[in-house]
Structure 1
Amino acid sequence: MRLNSRALPPGSASGFTLVELVTVILILGVLVVGVSSFVIFGTRIFVESSSVDRVLSQSRFAMERLIREIRSAVPGSVRLRTEAGYQCLELLPIAASSSYLDMPFKPGAKAEVGTGIATTASVAAGQLLLIYPLTPADVYADSAASQGKMFSLKAVQRSGDSWDFTFTQQIRFDEASPRQRFYVASGPVSYCIFHGGSNDGDLLRYAGYGINHPSQLAPTDMGAGVLMAQGIVNDFSQPAQLPIELTPATLVNNALVQLRPRFAVNGESFQYQHQVQVINVP
């Protein structure tokens, strides 16, 4: 079968009418709006989910680190400072712990040396040795005193299964431990949560600022802190809403730290609820 094409009259041209062009433009516009809305919506979901994941992972890491250090704190070393613009939890992490064999105790004579059972942990000069600390006053005391419950080590030498300790001066411990236990620590750390100011909602960790401060230091006196988490929105005006609460240890009870920081992201919030015990076994 043969098809014959019809020739166009002279002076005429093929193309689209104005109505057809407008129709096509409208259809394309609707398609572009639909596709762009889908892309924008998907991008927004991705950005928001990424923000939530970042805050969740950051907060989990910070809480896990804080909980581990609280659990490994020297008995009697945990203390809390609460001000209008921040809360700071200070503690002395244990570097090593064992039983002593010979130490100078009151009312005996002062001495510069002592002996303890060695462990796999590392102990070095410059660290602190504590025996029977019961309260923060026993830990954050005058480092120049020759009698107390904590003293700085001048040298440590291992002899078989024992450590030979040399102190920086002639010392004498106040009391013997019922279990002949001693602790070794390098220095205190502080976790501070801020409310207001340039660090609003931040959790910072401070270390390396020294020890023997009878009054707990403010964050501005601890040097530069390390940012651990952001987005904490607890109401500091309500005591029941504070992110940290401390119940000090007694002779029959362990110290109890309650952690309840509330984090906010993208208009939503979530709160941690943890109770951490500091085992009171001096």
Structure 2
Amino acid sequence: MLRARGFTLIELIMVIVLLAIVATVSVRFVTLSTRGALDVSARQQRALQAVVISEQITRELREAFPLSIRTSGECLEWLPLEGATGYTSLPTGGGSRIEIVPFDTVPSASPMRAIVYGYGTGTDALYGNSNPGPVSSPVANIDNTASPPFIELQAPHRFAERSPERRVFLVGEPVSLCQSGRYLYRYSGYGRNTSQPVPPAGGSREVLSANVTGTVDFTYLPATFQRAAVVQFTYTLRDYETGSDETTTVSQEVQIRNVP
């Protein structure tokens, strides 16, 4: 008589227990691997975002009129440099025409103002409307083909000083970077203010970053005989969407080109 073959209850329980252990280890391994991949992806995304933000700020600051940069609290402000050339004659009396050396490329930004020798006047003077002063009324027209070429101002203006190098610069409207909570904004089109607005009112604003944590630090070091002016900025990014406590801190220096 043949005996029946099979598994005992104890053997079945042991198999079930072993399978449960293997399944638990496998699930744990997959979970950790997935979490690791997500963390790496989040770090790479923050790093890429930091590169984009820093590059945008750097490119704009390198085109700033260096004497116009000012900081206050969580804001950085400057006047974008649109063009530069030499002048042959400045307005006198009630004149509004600056005779110039032709531009290589005629600036097309609007509105623009002319600056002649803004040194020693203080940053706020470059944002004011004093007459006489270093900053003109808005530019009405540039004729680069006339004889001689000229810049026509909307209103008569007398410059307080003459440039030793006979240089005239054209600048656009102020631009600001300001932090508000977890957001870093770029402000433009808000107009000129003798006192730095923190933050600017009016105009338009664009979001540069929506995941800033802590305080954005802006520092301006004026130019010396040994180096150009330097802007230092430091900020920290955090991944708010995943709730991770990991952060990425970025610190960068931007050298601003000196101008005579």
CA contact (8 A) 1:118 1:162 kept: no
Q: Deviation of residue 167 (structure 1)?
A: 1.0
1:217 maps to a residue whose letter is P
Structure 1 residues 51-103: Cα deviation after superposition (integer angstroms, max 9, x where no partner):
11121111122122222322221131101111xxxx10101111212222332
- In structure 2, distance between residues paired with 1:18 and 1:183: 93
Equivalent residues, number:
251
1:89 aligns with 2:63: no
Tell me which residue corresponds to 1:111: 95
Letter in 2 for 1:51: A
Residue 275 of structure 1: aligned partner = 253
**Does 2:198 match 1:218?**
yes
Structure 1 residue aligned with 2:169:
183
Contact 2:63 2:80 survives alignment (8 Å): yes
Quote how far apart the aligned CAs of 1:31 are: 2.4
Q: 2:173 is paired with a residue of what secondary structure?
A: coil
Structure 2 unaligned spans of 5+? none
Q: Is the 8 A contact 1:193 1:204 kept in 2?
A: yes
Q: Is residue 68 of structure 1 aligned with residue 48 of structure 2?
A: no
Residue aligned with 2:158, SS:
strand
User: Does residue 1:204 correspond to 2:179, yes or no?
Assistant: no
The answer as to 2:100 corresponding to 1:122 is no
2:42 to 51, 62, 73: 51
Write the distance in 1 (CA, Å) between the matches of 2:158 and 2:57: 33
State how far apart, in whole Å, the 2-side matches of 1:180 and 1:262 are: 43
Q: Pick from 17, 21, 32: which aligns with 2:23?
A: 32
The equivalent of 1:170 in structure 2 is 156
- Counterparts of 1:161 and 1:94, CA distance in 2: 25
Give TM-score, length-normalised by structure 2: 0.81
Instruction: Confirm or deny that 1:192 pairs with 2:170.
Output: no
2:230 maps to 256
Q: Unaligned 5+ residue runs, structure 1?
A: 1-5, 235-241
Q: Determine which structure has more spread, i.e. the larger CA radius of gyration.
A: 1
TM-score (norm 1): 0.75
